[in-house]
Amino acid sequence: MIEKKEIEFVTFILYQLSEVWHITPSKVYAKLSEANAIDGYLLPCYDTLHTLGSKYLVEDLTEMLAERGVTV
């Protein structure tokens, strides 16, 4: 079961990416889902990822999506 803190973390990331990518949070969610970045990366790796800075996370996710063929 997903915990509240994990949902808050994913929401935080959605809005950080939205600001950097200049698209709506719903479009960010769609892109992350297409790349399986939420269920396949953010949630399973929450314990480590939530300790990292937002700048690193934005760069990491941007790179991950590019590697998976999802354009931003």
List, for residues 5-64, the tens digit of each pLDDT value. Answer: 999 999 999 999 999 999 999 999 999 999 999 999 999 999 999 999 999 999 999 999
Exposure string over 33-49, b if 16+ CB within 10 A, otherwise e: eebebbeebbbeebeeb
For 66, the token pair is 């590019």
For residue 31, the model assigns a pLDDT of 98
Report CA 43 to chain centroid distance, whole Å. 9
For residue 3, the model assigns a pLDDT of 97
For residue 60, the model assigns a pLDDT of 97
Amino acid residing at 34: E
**pLDDT band of 2, cuts 50, 70, 90:** very high
